[in-house]
Chains A and B, each alone.
Chain A
Amino acid sequence: MTPPVLAGLAGAALVGFGLYGLILHPHPLRKLLAFNLIGSGVFLVFGIVARRGAAAGLPFDPVPQAMVITGIVVAFAASALAVALILRLAAVSGKVTLDPEAWAKTPSTRPDGGGGQ
C-alpha cells in the first residue's frame, strides 16, 4: 500500500473517531476537539489528492496544499471563537455541558449574565 493511500485511509478513520466523539461527548471542549479531529481527517484526504496530482515536475499539486494551509488557519480561528462562546456560556449559566437533559433539569441560576470571566 502506498503512503498516500495509507494516509487517506488514516484520514477516513480520523473523521470516524471525530464524528463519534462529537456526537457523544457532553463536554463542549471535548466536542470541539473531536470536531478538529474531523477537520484534520478531511485535510489529510485532501493531502492525498494533492499528492496524486503530481505533475509538471512537481511531486505534488500545490493548489490543494495551499488550500489545506489556509484551512488549518481558518479552523483555528473558528475554534478560538467557539472557545470564547463556550467560556461565556459557562460564565453566564454556570453549566459546562451541552447535554440537553442537564439543561432541562435545572434552569439557569444566573439569567442576568455574570460579569464575564
Chain B
Amino acid sequence: MSVLPILDVGLAFLVVGLAAWTVAARNLFASVVGYVAYGLLLALVWIRLYAPDVALTEAAVGGGVTGVLLITAGKRLGALEKDEAGATPALALKIVAGALALFVAGALAWVVVTLPDPAPTLAPAAAAAADGPGAGLGNPITAVLISYRSFDTMLEKVVLILAVIGVWSVGADSAWGAAPAPLGRPQPAGAMVLLAQILAPIGALIGVHIFWVGADAPGGAFQGGALLAAMWMAAMMARLTEPPRIDARWLRLALVAGPAVFLVIGFAGLGLAGDFFAFPPAFAKPLILFIETFMVLSIAVALPLLVAGPPNGRSAR
C-alpha cells in the first residue's frame, strides 16, 4: 500500500477536525485562527483533486484574505463590544440543530457516493475552447474563465465592485469620501514592519509572476491579484501605507478597469469576430492577456478595500 492514501485520509480528517474546531472554539480569535489553518489544508485537498488553480485561490482568498477580514472585524468589534453575545442555546435546540445538520450532511454524502457513472463532463468543450477561440492557452482553467465562460468572469468582477460599493455605503453619511480606518495598530510591532518591508516586494513579484504564467500553467488573474492585494494589506498593517481616500480618482478607475476593459473588448468582438465576447483568433492571446492585466489591477484594489471597510471620519487614530 502506497503512502498517498494514508495521507489523503489524514488530510480529510484534519480538515474536518479543524472545521469542527472553528465551530466549537470558545472565542472568536481561536476560531478564526482555526479557519485560516483550515483554508491552507483545504488547498492541499484541492491539489489532490488535480485542481492547483483552485488550491491557489483557496489558499490566498479563502484562507488568507478572509482570515485577515475576520481578525480585523473581531478587533474592531472588540473595541466597541460591551454587550457580550447572548447565552448558550438550550439543549433541545442543540439536539434539533445537530439532527438537521446530520441529516443534510448525510444526504449530501449519499449523493456523493451515488453520483452518476460515467460522469457528465464539459471537458471536451473546454479543451476545444483552449485550442480554438482561446488561442493556444495551455491552462484550460484560464481558457474557461476568459473564453468559454467569459461572461461569468466579467460579472464576477462586477459583483466585487458592487460589494465595495455596499461596504462603503454602510459608513456614516458624514464620513463619505474619507479614508477607511487604518488596518494596523498605531505603533505596529517591529517584527511586523520588518516582515512587511521584506515580504511585500517579493510577494508582489510572485503575484505578477503567477498572473503571467497563468496562461499556460496553474495561476492567473485571480490568484496573482489576490497575492498583490495581500501584499498591499501587509504594508497597511505595518502602517507603511494607509488606506486611500475612497473618493480618489485613481482608486475608482482601478476598480472599474477590469470589467470595463473586458466589456469593451467583448463588444468589440461583436464587430471583429462576429459574436459578443468572441476574440479574433489571430490575436486572441494578446487580447486575453490585456484583459487579464486590468482584471489583476481591479482584484488587487478591490480585495484590500473590502477588508479595510467603510470610510471613517477620523483620519488617523
Contacts and interface: CB of A to CB of B under 8 A. Distances in A.
Q: Please say whether chains A and B are actual partners in one complex.
A: yes
A49 B101 CA distance: 22
Contacts of A117: 76, 79-80, 181, 312
B307 interface: yes
A55 to B, nearest CB: 4
Chain A interface, DSSP helix/strand/loop, else mixed: helix
B148 A88 contact: no
Interface string B163-183: 100110011101100000100
B104 interface: yes
Given A73-B57, A84-B166, A16 B70 contact: no
B224 interface: no
A14 B80 contact: no
Interface stretch (B17-25, B190-198, B270-278): B17-25
B86 A99 contact: yes
A40 B296 CA distance: 23
Interface stretch (B7-15, B231-239, B247-255): B7-15
Contacts of B171: 88, 116
B269 interface: no
B89 interface: yes
Given A7-B48, A20-B97, A53-B121, A62 B143 contact: yes
Contacts of A27: 28, 85
B119 A52 contact: yes
A65 B51 contact: yes
B153 A70 contact: yes
B204 interface: no
Contacts of A96: 77, 81, 83-85
Interface stretch (B108-116, B205-213, B284-292): B108-116
Contact of A21 (B22, B74, B121, B149): B22
A55 B309 contact: no
A69 B141 contact: yes
Interface string B112-149: 11010001111111110010000000001101110011
A49 B57 contact: no
A77 B163 CA distance: 6
A44 B45 contact: yes
A68 B57 CA distance: 9
B146 to A, nearest CB: 9
A45 B73 contact: no
A18 B42 CA distance: 15
A84 B309 contact: yes
Given A15-B105, A16-B101, A26 B85 contact: yes
The 5 closest A-B pairs by CB, nearest first: A16-B105, A99-B86, A116-B172, A53-B121, A8-B112
Given A20-B98, A37-B23, A61-B126, 8 more contacts: A19-B101, A27-B28, A62-B140, A70-B145, A77-B160, A83-B70, A84-B310, A87-B76
11 contacts: A20-B100, A29-B70, A30-B28, A33-B70, A36-B62, A37-B22, A40-B58, A48-B49, A51-B51, A66-B145, A115-B313
Interface of B: 5, 8-9, 12, 15-16, 19-20, 22-23, 28, 31-32, 35, 39, 42, 45-46, 48-51, 53-54, 57-58, 61-62, 65-66, 69-70, 73-74, 76-77, 79-87, 89, 93-94, 97-98, 100-102, 104-106, 108-109, 111-113, 115, 119-127, 130, 140-141, 143-145, 148-149, 152-153, 156, 159-160, 162-163, 166-167, 170-172, 174-175, 181, 222, 299, 302-303, 306-307, 309-310, 312-313
